[in-house]
């Protein structure tokens, strides 16, 4: 094969037309302007990374109540049909969401009652109109309601964002008799704080709850990992996905994954936020799996089953020394 001209190599291209990145000490492989451009980009990335790191304060000493080894949140996203109708999905897909409000949520409530667990129901404002009877029952049984957007999406327009948050807060306040104190959403932190919320449950910067600092204010985040989310395993027909992307896992496999996650955090003295959807977890075999998981957890001492508000208020009441903050 004929070697590429030196001019091609000097331009940073291989004989196949692909970019040839310099190796350490290979100062002559790119023109000076290209090297300077790459270095400038690298410096920008490093600066952005450091700025992002400085935003976080990580909980290191949870000191759970009564000497508990672990705090466990069972959280439920009551979005049912909203994301499916927003994506103009076919009737059979919408019907899967309807199952949550008609059947799955009731099975979920029965399971929580049997185990004496208070959960947190992240509820879009529109769900209150769609499923009033089961949502009233959730309120009467003493579970926590929290914001989950108005129609299960965050609008791009800041004015509409604020309107959606206000409307959801109003309907949840009327439903529960008290305003919600948390959200599971990607609304801007400043807007979340403006609503009077003390926590978000969105993202996974740390296995333990963590604080996000912005403009001199702090917002607690209750970590939720997609590996502990029923939609990642059981949501067959996920938002119009192709057949190769369908998810329909074996219950025993998921039980094993979640049990190992619990055991790891139990040994570490940590926290586990289990994210569920009544239209997914509410099917009979999956409810049985969740029953088994809770039964195993309860067999060990020192497990604190709390709602999200209780965990958030506990963390926010801890002394500043309980958090490790990256330098400003």
| DSSP character string of 106-159 | HHHHHHHHHHT---EEEE-HHHHHHSHHHHHHHHHTTPEEEE--SSSS--SSHH
Query: How crowded is the C-beta side of 147, counted as CA atoms within 13 Å?
Result: 32
Per residue of the chain (328 residues), give pLDDT as tens.
Answer: 444 444 333 333 333 334 444 454 454 555 657 888 888 888 878 766 666 666 899 999 999 999 999 999 999 999 888 866 766 777 777 777 888 999 999 999 999 999 999 999 999 999 999 999 999 999 999 999 999 999 999 999 999 999 999 999 999 999 999 999 999 999 999 999 999 999 999 989 899 999 998 878 899 999 999 899 998 898 765 555 555 555 678 999 999 999 999 999 999 999 999 999 999 999 999 999 999 999 999 999 999 999 999 999 999 999 999 999 977 5
Rounded to whole angstroms, how far apart are CA atoms 313 and 80?
Answer: 28
CA distance 111 to 131: 19
Alpha helix segments (H runs only) across 147-269: 158-176, 189-194, 231-234, 251-268
Q: Measured between alpha carbons, how far is residue 306 from residues 112, 179, 293 in Å? A: 12, 19, 16
Instruction: Give me 175's structure tokens.
Output: 């439903």
């Amino acid at each position: 094969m004929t070697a590429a001209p030196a001019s091609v190599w000097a331009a940073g291209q291989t004989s196949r037309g692909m970019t040839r990145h310099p190796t350490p000490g290979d100062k002559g492989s790119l023109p000076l302007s290209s090297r300077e451009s790459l270095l400038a980009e690298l410096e920008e990335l490093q600066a952005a990374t450091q700025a992002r790191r400085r935003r976080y304060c990580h909980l290191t000493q949870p000191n759970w109540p009564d000497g508990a080894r672990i705090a466990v949140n069972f959280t439920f996203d009551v979005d049912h049909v909203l994301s499916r109708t927003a994506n103009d999905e076919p009737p059979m897909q919408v019907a899967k969401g309807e199952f949550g409000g008609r059947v799955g949520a009731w099975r979920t409530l029965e399971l929580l009652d049997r185990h004496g667990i208070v959960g947190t129901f992240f509820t879009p404002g529109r769900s209150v109109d769609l499923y009033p009877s089961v949502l009233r029952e959730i309120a009467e049984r003493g579970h926590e309601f929290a914001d989950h957007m108005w129609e299960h999406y965050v609008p791009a327009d800041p004015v509409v964002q604020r309107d959606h948050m206000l409307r959801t807060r109003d309907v949840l306040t009327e439903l529960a008799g008290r305003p919600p104190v948390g959200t599971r959403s990607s609304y801007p932190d400043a807007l979340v704080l403006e609503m009077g919320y003390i926590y978000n449950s969105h993202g996974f910067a740390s296995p333990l709850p963590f604080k996000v600092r912005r403009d001199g204010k702090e917002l607690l985040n209750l970590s939720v990992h997609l590996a502990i989310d029923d939609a990642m395993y059981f949501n067959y027909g996920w938002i119009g996905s192709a057949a190769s992307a369908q998810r329909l896992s074996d219950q025993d496999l998921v039980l094993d994954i979640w049990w190992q996650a619990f055991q790891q955090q139990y040994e570490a003295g940590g926290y586990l936020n289990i994210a569920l959807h009544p239209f997914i977890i509410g099917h009979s075999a999956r409810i049985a799996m969740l029953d088994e998981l809770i039964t195993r957890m309860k067999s060990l001492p020192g497990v604190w089953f709390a709602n999200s508000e209780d965990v958030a208020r506990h963390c926010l009441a801890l002394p500043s020394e309980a958090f490790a903050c990256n330098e400003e």
